């Protein structure tokens, strides 16, 4: 098969259609507090910021901002930020954090990829970022939307291979691992669209820690749609076998290498 003839947009849509996992706003609303806690501790933020190398003059659009994982540490490094997310709970957490810290240059807006951004007051920004948030059915439309809203640069991060998903958990509950399209679909589609992007990889040694067994169970249960009581029992038994006391909490007995690809490009003059 010749590379130029591969329809990466269609392949992405087909791969997304095969996925059974569909996490809507309600799921992320429930997960928001736990996600905010763990995301803020991850070295991913430091590495992404290093690659971004923010300029104080920038206005930044953060698409899929969550509770401000990047927006909060970015606030004192750029001129202004518009953070959007389809989860109302995530947006409320971000607003609360901004109020606590006295941050005045972040505007938080509840909006999705599919919404009319112009209708909710989102205008072009110098830089658009979509960090770990390209979870869309129409990849081509999302990429063109980002490219169109950015005046200077775009930064995207997407999983490499399994990304943050732990195959051992799926084996433990007796399910097949859900194969998902990774960064190479994004990069190749950009190439077909005439966008020559750079790629930098972030590699993390991930060893999850939790305050309690209940937190560990809920934090891992979210990966599974329509989990049955039997599967819950298998997951519980697996975690009991692989969690050990550490630093006043519980930690997994093994670490995983998690890789993200940061794909970026400058707008052509």
pLDDT in tens, the chain (269 residues): 556 689 999 999 998 887 755 565 565 555 545 554 555 567 899 999 999 999 999 999 999 999 999 999 999 999 999 999 999 989 999 999 999 999 999 999 999 999 999 999 999 999 999 999 998 999 999 999 999 999 999 999 999 999 888 999 999 999 998 888 999 999 999 999 999 999 999 999 888 888 899 989 988 888 888 889 999 999 999 999 999 998 888 999 988 999 999 999 999 76
Which residues on adjacent β-strands are paired with residue 259? Answer: 203
Give the pLDDT score at 155: 98
CATH architecture label of 3-162+179-205+257-266:
3-Layer(aba) Sandwich (3.40)
Question: In the structure encoding, which two tokens stand for residue 62, read together?
Answer: 């953060």
Evaluated on CA atoms 122, 124, 128, 134, the torsion sign reads positive
For 151-176, give the secondary structure using H, E and C: EEEEEEEEECCCCCCCHHHHHHHCCC
Give the pLDDT score at 36: 47
Residue 73 CB coordination number (10 Å)? 15
CB 169 within 8 A of CB 233: no
Of the candidates 199, 207, 190, 113, which has an alpha carbon nearest to the alpha carbon of residue 160?
A: 199
**Model pTM score:** 0.88
Of the candidates 56, 235, 204, 220, which has an alpha carbon nearest to the alpha carbon of residue 132?
A: 204
């Amino acid at each position: 098969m010749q590379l130029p003839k591969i329809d990466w947009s269609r392949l992405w849509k087909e791969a997304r259609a095969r996925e059974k996992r569909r996490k809507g706003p309600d799921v992320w609303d429930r997960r928001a507090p736990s996600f905010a806690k763990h995301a803020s501790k991850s070295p991913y933020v430091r590495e992404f910021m290093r690659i971004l190398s923010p300029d104080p003059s920038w206005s930044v659009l953060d698409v899929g901002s969550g509770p401000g994982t990047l927006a909060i540490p970015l606030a004192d490094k750029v001129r202004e930020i518009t953070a959007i997310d389809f989860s109302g709970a995530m947006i409320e957490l971000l607003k609360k954090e901004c109020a606590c810290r006295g941050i005045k240059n972040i505007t938080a807006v509840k909006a999705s990829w599919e919404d009319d951004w112009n209708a909710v007051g989102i205008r072009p920004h110098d830089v658009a970022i979509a960090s770990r948030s390209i979870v869309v059915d129409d990849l081509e439309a999302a990429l063109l939307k980002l490219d169109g809203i950015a005046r200077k640069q775009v930064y995207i991060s997407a999983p490499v291979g399994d990304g943050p998903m732990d195959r051992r958990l799926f084996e433990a509950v007796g399910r097949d691992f859900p194969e998902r399209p990774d960064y190479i679909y994004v990069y190749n589609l950009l190439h077909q669209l005439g966008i020559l992007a750079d790629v930098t990889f972030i590699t993390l040694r991930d060893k999850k820690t939790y305050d309690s067994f209940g937190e560990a169970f809920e934090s891992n249960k979210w990966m599974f749609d329509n989990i049955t009581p039997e599967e819950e029992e298998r997951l519980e038994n697996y975690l009991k076998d692989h969690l050990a006391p550490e630093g006043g909490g519980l930690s997994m007995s093994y670490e995983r290498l998690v890789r993200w690809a940061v794909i970026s490009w400058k707008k052509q003059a």
